[in-house]
Structure 1
Amino acid sequence: MRGFGYRTMKTAGGAAVAIWIAELLQLDFYVSAGIIAVLCIQKTRRKSFVSAWERLIASVIGLFTAGLVFEVVGYAFYSVAIVLMIFIPITVRLKITSGIVTSIVIMLHVYTMQSFTPALVVNEMLIIVIGVGIALLMNVYIPSNEKILDEYQVELEQYFSRILKEFAHFIRTGEDSWTGREITEAAALLHRAKNRAVQNLENHILRYEDTYYHYFKMREKQLDILERMMPLLTTIDYHVKQADMLASFLDDLAEGVQPGNTAHRYLEQLEELKQSYKEMNLPSTREEFEARASLAHLVYELDLYLQVKQQFRLTKKYGVFKAAGSQR
């Protein structure tokens, strides 16, 4: 079970188990344990851990704040307002505002009982611990996103390969039948992939860097460069020999968008291509000059495109990011 279905079952099961345990212990207000469990179960382990910790601390503070105020001021309706005016600023200052709702439930238990006794404190603490503890146990297992992220990588590589081939075809023939659909779809895929990668990172409590996320950020930067190249292609309205050379390079680059390739090889090829351009005769007409100038600009953008990829692989090699799957 993935996504909505899995989380729904987990939430329902956690609430039921928390209520069952609290009822077995014959606690007052035992259903509140289920409420706390529901509130603490989040999409990821990290969010669940943070939520549970904040609600635990806030509930304890709220319990003793309510007990102190009610015992001093009295168990009257206006005392509730006083408690909240004291308690809410404390949660804001401690940055545990997500625990306000849970704490109010606990504080109203004290108001309902009209007394603040050791037995009530034990009762409320057990409700809190049961609700928070069951929520954390329910989030021990969360389905891995890494298979989906690997699929996103493969699909994205296919888009990039198609885009580069279309660029090569246009430079070689001048035909403009391509709609550019792959660029739009690649951008949408990157948006989904980055969100999924962030979720994958948050399922690892002690991990603060994720290769998947940085991989997709790297591809996003490359896609921006490819988008910048599109207007340059349309300025090439005069065919020159250098265009065929660049088209061949793009075809080779498109074929190389697959697992195990590095940017180093293509940077060397691109440097050889630039050197070949320099050794050729100067343009003899204005049309040839403009076409070769556009090609030179495209080469510059391709160099940036490959530098982005190389930087990512160097960073991964020297261990700044922890590997989370095979990279391309």
Structure 2
Amino acid sequence: MKKFSIGYRTLKTAVGASIAIAIAQYFDLQFFSAAGILTILCIQPTKKKSIHAVYTRVVASSVAIILAYLFFEIFGYRPVVLGLMLLLFIPTIVSLKVSAGFVSSAVIIMHLYSIADFTLAILYNELALMAIGYSVGLLVNMYMPDIQPELNYYRLKIEDLYKKIFFEIAKYLKEGDTLWDGKELVEALQVLNKAKALAFQDVENHLTRKENLYYLYFDMREKQLEIIERVLPKITALPVIVQQAELVSVFMEELSRNIHSGNTASFYREKLEEVKVEFAKMPLPEDHPTFIAMAALYQFMEEMDAYLAIKQSFKGM
């Protein structure tokens, strides 16, 4: 059984609906409870989505009122007329790309149909319900909780996982065997997916911001993870552990201790070049397995340079 909890969105929905209905009742509007329904339909996960929700519902509701007036006043308030109106109304809001506003529009349409008398008073009533419901929904959704601590938690988590992965690579290159099951790779992918979704939500909650530094950071780490996943099979399939493996192991061990959100990639790219120079000075392979192992190690170093280049292109936190 899922743990019972009341989130911010649930709280805002309850408060917003109550306020909207109270306002509608205060002004003695017919169908005052509909103001609460319209508010509920506007509560969205982010500010940008809430604004878009209000836009689609205003446009769709306006089209609904116009079509309702034309169909009901000309052909009468009958079920078949309602059906014919919906046959035209639904394709219209789809073509206008405001189909998300169908439910709120249907509320307005049913009000007009049930009253069966389109007057200015009824029109004002429906416009007032729309104004109250949509504006209250928009206003309560302007408050969003601070998600920076959660984003920072994910940042530290992914860095810790990368440290573990690199340490295990260094250990394998040094010892030639390890009991590591690679679960950190799976966990890293899961953390990155959650982190990117949360960072994108933060972008959507800032109306003038087009990008989020955390989103760029997690995107950078995701690209690095693709490289790690690509090179691991080459390392774990070394036919023999050659002398050069120790050299690469020392570099990976140092790198594992220095994974953070700052940008020191240029420093480690220089160190990697030094490793390549030392690698080239070592004896040439004497047999085929040694040749394959050395070639795989050198390819691994090239991939690690690409890994560091991705980090170098990131300006840092």
Instruction: Give yes or no for TM over 0.5.
Output: yes
1:167 deviates by 0.3
- Write out per-residue CA displacement over residues 78-135 of structure 1, whole angstroms, 9 at most, x where no aligned residue: 1101211221111011100011111111011111111111111111000001000000
Determine if contact 1:18/1:134 at 8 Å carries over to the other structure. Answer: yes
Determine if contact 1:263/1:309 at 8 Å carries over to the other structure. Answer: yes
In the aligned structure 2, how far is the partner of 1:91 from the partner of 1:224? 42
C-alpha RMSD of the superposition = 1.5
In the aligned structure 2, how far is the partner of 1:235 from the partner of 1:106? 67
In the aligned structure 1, how far is the partner of 2:176 from the partner of 2:200? 41
In the aligned structure 2, how far is the partner of 1:94 from the partner of 1:57? 9
**Residue identity matched to 1:257:** I
Instruction: Indicate the SS of the match to 1:27.
Output: coil
Determine if contact 1:270/1:299 at 8 Å carries over to the other structure. Answer: yes
**Residue identity matched to 1:102:** S
In structure 2, list runs of 5 or more residues that go unmatched. none
1:284 deviates by 2.4
1:144 deviates by 1.7
- Write out per-residue CA displacement over residues 290-325 of structure 1, whole angstroms, 9 at most, x where no aligned residue: 221111111111111111212233xx7xxxxxxxxx
**Residue identity matched to 1:21:** I
What are the equivalent positions in structure 2 for 1:160-309 lying under 5 Å apart?
A: 160-309=162-311
Determine if contact 1:60/1:125 at 8 Å carries over to the other structure. Answer: no
Runs of 4+ residues deviating >6 angstroms: none
Q: Which residue of 2 aligns with 1:125?
A: 127
In the aligned structure 2, how far is the partner of 1:216 from the partner of 1:270? 24
Q: Which residue of 1 aligns with 2:14?
A: 12
Q: Which residue of 2 aligns with 1:324?
A: none
1:206 deviates by 2.3
**Residue identity matched to 1:43:** P
In the aligned structure 2, how far is the partner of 1:174 from the partner of 1:281? 20
Structure 2 residue 88 is matched with structure 1 residue 90: no
What are the equivalent positions in structure 2 for 1:33-48 lying under 5 Å apart?
A: 33-48=35-50
In the aligned structure 1, how far is the partner of 2:183 from the partner of 2:261? 24
Determine if contact 2:57/2:101 at 8 Å carries over to the other structure. Answer: yes
In the aligned structure 2, how far is the partner of 1:174 from the partner of 1:17? 67
Distance change (3 Å), C-alpha of 1:4 and 1:224: farther
Determine if contact 2:247/2:279 at 8 Å carries over to the other structure. Answer: no
Aligned positions, number: 313
Determine if contact 2:174/2:249 at 8 Å carries over to the other structure. Answer: yes
Instruction: Indicate the SS of the match to 1:189.
Output: helix
Q: Which residue of 2 aligns with 1:31?
A: 33
In structure 1, list runs of 5 or more residues that go unmatched. 317-326
Determine if contact 1:15/1:37 at 8 Å carries over to the other structure. Answer: yes
Structure 2 residue 151 is matched with structure 1 residue 144: no
**Residue identity matched to 1:130:** I
**Residue identity matched to 1:255:** R
1:4 deviates by 5.0
Q: Which residue of 2 aligns with 1:319?
A: none
1:208 deviates by 2.0
Q: Which residue of 2 aligns with 1:322?
A: none
In the aligned structure 1, how far is the partner of 2:263 from the partner of 2:40? 46
Determine if contact 1:37/1:131 at 8 Å carries over to the other structure. Answer: yes
1:152 deviates by 0.3
In the aligned structure 1, how far is the partner of 2:65 from the partner of 2:195? 42
1:212 deviates by 1.5
TM-score by length of 1: 0.92
